[in-house]
Amino acid sequence: MLHLRVISPFGRTDDVLGVLDRTPGVANVVLIGKAARRPEGDVVLADVAREAADDVIGALKSLGIGADGSITLEEIGLSISRGADEAEALAPGEGDDAVIWDQFEKRVADDSRITWAFLAFLAIATQIAAIGVLVPSQILIVGAMVLGPEFGAVAAVSFGLLRLRWRLVGGALRALAVGFSAAVAVTFACALVSRVLGWIGPEMLRHNDEVRFIVVPDKWSFIVALLAGAAGVLSITAGKSSALVGVFISVTTVPAAGYMAVALALGRWPEVGGSLLQLAVNVSGMVVAGTATLFLQRFLWGRTRAARG
């Protein structure tokens, strides 16, 4: 169940209550009259089954509540209520299959912003991956994969393509381009200093069969990227953060960037091209699969709504 809080402008509260009363999957409705100060209005609280949340939000937005009032939705850790159990049973479909599109859009838009935190995490992850390539250590490479924050931007591209939100697509692609460029530049500078100090040399990339998969993209690279993209989108829409960690470990975007930076510093040009191609294959595969998965979810959930009607 999810907890809904609505600040309804005076005069529209009856309409808000009407939406909640006629939507299956809503329980524990509470009205607190004239409680809101900024914006002014009545406060309406309710518990909503996840599979009914998108319908409720859409109906409230059509009343202009999002523009003139407020709509807030949050997870409930524990709900002990017969009414909530009955409401969840009445709601069509399963909660894990339901997509709350506004929530998804908000999350991926936030995750694809160019912030200092985004750049720092990606740069640190890329440097750890570069060290993992040089040592070589698959443990370090896996750790770098988990640390990388880039999947949110990939998911934003998929959502933007599905909804034709070109501004979101452009912003997410810019975040990926700027993020990886900055991460590679920082890692390249560090590798260059390390080479001058004599800590690393070209021979360190000649006998590293353990990490050669990073610079040798093939059909399996694209297949894994497709599977990871689909799993990543499903994990976000279903709220399964543990599954998303598995997605990070599946694809070699950050390791490819780390390998590229080290290869540039050591003058290993074939590896530069291979790692760049690996990065492109992984990102494009995840975008294709993410978009297809979101399209399929929208189609299937639309059929569930039609069957209910």
How far apart CA 86 and CA 24 sit, in angstroms, is 10
Q: Are 22 and 70 in contact (CB under 8 A)?
A: no
Residue 230 predicted with pLDDT over 80: yes
Q: Give the mean pLDDT of the chain.
A: 89
For residue 49, report the phi and psi dihedrals to the nearest 5 degrees. -65, 145
Residue with tokens 């074939």: 270
Q: CATH number for the 103-304 domain, one of 3.30.310, 1.20.1080, 2.30.30, 3.10.620? A: 1.20.1080
* DSSP strands (E only) in the chain: 2-8, 26-37, 40-48, 70-75
Residue ranges of domains in the chain:
2-98, 103-304
CATH topology of domain 2-98: Alpha-Beta Plaits (3.30.70)
Question: Per residue in 110-121, pLDDT tens?
Answer: 989 999 999 999
Dihedral sign of CA atoms 36, 17, 100, 165 in order: negative
At 125, the amino acid letter reads A
Q: Are 214 and 278 in contact (CB under 8 A)?
A: yes
Residue 83 vs residue 189, higher pLDDT: 189
Question: Per residue in 139-179, pLDDT tens?
Answer: 899 899 888 899 999 999 999 999 999 999 999 999 999 99
The model's confidence at residue 73, banded by pLDDT at 50, 70 and 90, is very high
Q: Are 131 and 124 in contact (CB under 8 A)?
A: no
Buried b (16+ CB within 10 A) or exposed e, 272-290: bebbbebbebbbbbbbbbb
Q: Are 118 and 175 in contact (CB under 8 A)?
A: yes
The model's confidence at residue 207, banded by pLDDT at 50, 70 and 90, is low
Percent of the chain with pLDDT over 90: 59
Tell me which of 13-27, 86-100, 145-159 is least confident.
Answer: 86-100
| pLDDT for 309 | 55
Q: Mind spelling out the 3-state secondary structure of 165-218?
A: CHHHHHHHHHHHHHHHHHHHHHHHHHHHHHHHCCCCCHHHHCCCHHHHHHHCCC
For 1, 117, 135, 142, 265, the CA distances from 123, given in Å and listed in that order, are 38, 10, 18, 15, 16
